[in-house]
Structure 1
């Protein structure tokens, strides 16, 4: 989205600058003459088509704009800035500072704290009667019969 906004803003600025000198471009040559009249009369005028042909002769587009070299470069720079700076660098920064997913680190710290307190009190890490034996309903030996029990 930011690429579109900046691209359209740069394109509008570029179009405004091009409208001021659409058909003719003035080039000034360097003159070492001491006479003022000769220096000012050496400005030559050429058509824009000759200038663009010379500029675009060896130009290879980045693939963002096939016709305008300036917009092609602007779009390329904006896209690479957004992709590398914001997505890769910013994304990795955000991912590295995300909160603990699934509260795994908290659960491990809490388990170590529980173990430490039980060791100080002299209790076993896991109580033998963690679940009340009266609540567990086991089958009798007759119900099991010859079933193999693997522990």
Structure 2
């Protein structure tokens, strides 16, 4: 893509001055007029006075190509493709599965006429509570 834009720019720089010339008069209103070619003056200034993006300080074309390639990779590939993969990745923690199973269990208990949460989920014999002496002055909030 950078090669195409370079070729396009080189061809247009040769063709453009013949079609687009701005005549600028810099003298007083008399017959001594001076014609300045604005297009060629600006193209020389743009080629010699450029600020590097930091990828290549010697070549403007290589610097721009590297900048465009890195921006494409970082924005398009990392953000867009990475976001797509993250959004549509499989459910490794099985959150959807556990929610679906919980709703199926609730429906099964409703159909059987059982309470939704069994009060005797753990038998009372297996529960070991501390005695009053072990609790001491600990505040119990119910």
TM-score interval (norm. to shorter) = 0.5 to 0.7
1 or 2, which has the higher strand percentage? 1
Name the counterpart of 1:92. 83
**Whole-angstrom distance in 1 between the partners of 2:133 and 2:69:** 79
RMSD: 2.8
Q: Give the secondary structure class of the aligned counterpart of 2:117.
A: coil
1:68 to 22, 44, 59: 59
Aligned to 1:116: 107
**Structure with more contact order per residue of length (Cα contacts < 8 Å, sep ≥ 6):** 1
Gaps of 5+ in 1: 1-9, 11-26, 28-52
CA gap 1:62/1:132 in 2 versus in 1, 3 angstroms: same
Written as runs of structure 1 = structure 2, the 5 A alignment for 1:46-85 is: 56-85=47-76
- How far apart are residue 103 of structure 1 and its match? 1.8
In the alignment, structure 2 segments of 5+ residues that lack a partner are: 4-13, 15-43
Give TM-score scaled by structure 1 length: 0.56
Give, in angstroms, the shift of residue 113 of structure 1.
0.8
1:137 paired to 2:128: yes
Distance between the aligned counterparts of 2:119 and 2:50, measured in 1? 80
* Partner Cα distance (1:78, 1:98) in 2: 27
> How many corresponding residue pairs?
101
Measure the CA separation in 1 of the matches of 2:101 and 2:131: 39
Instruction: Show structure 1 runs of 4+ deviating over 4 A.
Output: 139-148
Q: TM-score, normalised by structure 2?
A: 0.59
Please give the secondary structure, in 1, of the residue aligned with 2:75: helix
How far does the alpha carbon of each residue in 1:51-73 deviate from its partner, in whole angstroms, 9 at most, with x for none? xx877323222221111111111
